[in-house]
């Protein structure tokens, strides 16, 4: 149960009702992370605009790489809600639930290519120890794999976005259920 009041779709009116209906149409259903913002509907729209830009816009990073970093960040933060949601999204691309579960536990135990391993490393250090960010240790090795500055920017945007969302979810007691995990459009 969330720590604050939320407005359920059947009780929504005006702008909030429109936002809910639009989200259901675009995403297949309404997530708890959106309903938790129902007392301030404009934040739902701003949140979704940022999410769509970071996760779905053109990028040198694949959708799978972005979902992979989302899972690593969420695991580092112990955010079960986002681990489940984005683990399911990642599985849409990987098609290997066991591999996704291993990623959640310890990406170092997976047979990832050098680029993906370094993206996971960046996700974990920027989440757990952002003050340890060091160009020589984390950024230059990404460049040496062939990633462009744009790809590195996009990786940092994904990592930062999921740290934001994890804190909102954990800070407001957003929970997930089996029912919620079904029916999203990827």
Tokens 């040496």, residue located: 144
Assess if residue 40 is contained within a domain.
no
Is the per-residue pLDDT at 179 higher than 80? no
DSSP 2-37: -SS----GGG--HHHHHHHHHHHHHHSS--HHHHTT
Assess if residue 175 is contained within a domain.
no
Mean pLDDT score, 66-87: 97
pLDDT at 29: 82
**What's the mean pLDDT when you consider all of the chain?**
94
Q: Which of 115, 107, 126 is nearest to 166 (CA)?
A: 126
CATH number at residue 142: 1.20.1290.10
Q: Which of 74, 70, 86 is nearest to 31 (CA)?
A: 86
pLDDT at 186: 52
pLDDT at 182: 57
pTM exceeds 0.85 for this model = yes
Describe the crossing of helices 149-172 and 63-76 by its angle, rounded to 10 degrees: 40
What 3-state DSSP class applies to 57?
coil
Q: What is the pLDDT of residues 22-43, one digit of tens each?
A: 998 888 888 899 999 999 999 9
Assess if residue 58 is contained within a domain.
no
Distance of CA 118 to the CA centre of its chain: 18
Per the structure, the count of domains in the chain is 1
Assess if residue 84 is contained within a domain.
yes
CA distance 116 to 112: 6
Assess if residue 4 is contained within a domain.
no
Assess if residue 102 is contained within a domain.
yes
Q: Which domain holds residue 131?
A: 63-165
Q: How confident is the model at residue 117 (pLDDT cuts 50, 70, 90)?
A: very high
Q: Are 28 and 184 in contact (CB under 8 A)?
A: yes
Assess if residue 57 is contained within a domain.
no
Q: What is the pLDDT of residues 125-159, one digit of tens each?
A: 999 999 999 999 999 999 999 999 999 999 999 99
pLDDT at 26: 85
Assess if residue 26 is contained within a domain.
no
């Amino acid at each position: 149960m969330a720590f604050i009041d939320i407005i359920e779709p059947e009780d929504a009116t005006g702008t909030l009702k429109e936002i809910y209906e639009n989200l259901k149409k675009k995403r297949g259903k309404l997530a708890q992370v959106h309903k938790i913002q129902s007392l301030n509907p404009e934040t739902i729209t701003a949140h979704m605009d940022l999410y769509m830009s970071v996760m779905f816009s053109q990028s040198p990073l694949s959708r799978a790489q972005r979902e992979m970093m989302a899972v690593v960040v969420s695991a580092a933060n112990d955010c079960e809600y986002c681990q489940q949601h984005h683990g399911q999204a990642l599985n849409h691309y990987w098609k290997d639930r066991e591999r996704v579960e291993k990623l959640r536990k310890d990406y170092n135990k997976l047979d990832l290519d050098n680029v993906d391993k370094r993206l996971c490393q960046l996700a974990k250090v920027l989440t757990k120890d952002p003050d340890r960010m060091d160009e020589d240790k984390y950024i230059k090795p990404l460049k040496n794999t062939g990633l462009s500055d744009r790809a590195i920017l996009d990786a940092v945007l994904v990592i930062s976005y999921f740290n934001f969302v994890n804190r909102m979810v954990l800070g407001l007691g957003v929970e997930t259920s089996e029912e919620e995990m079904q029916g999203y459009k990827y």
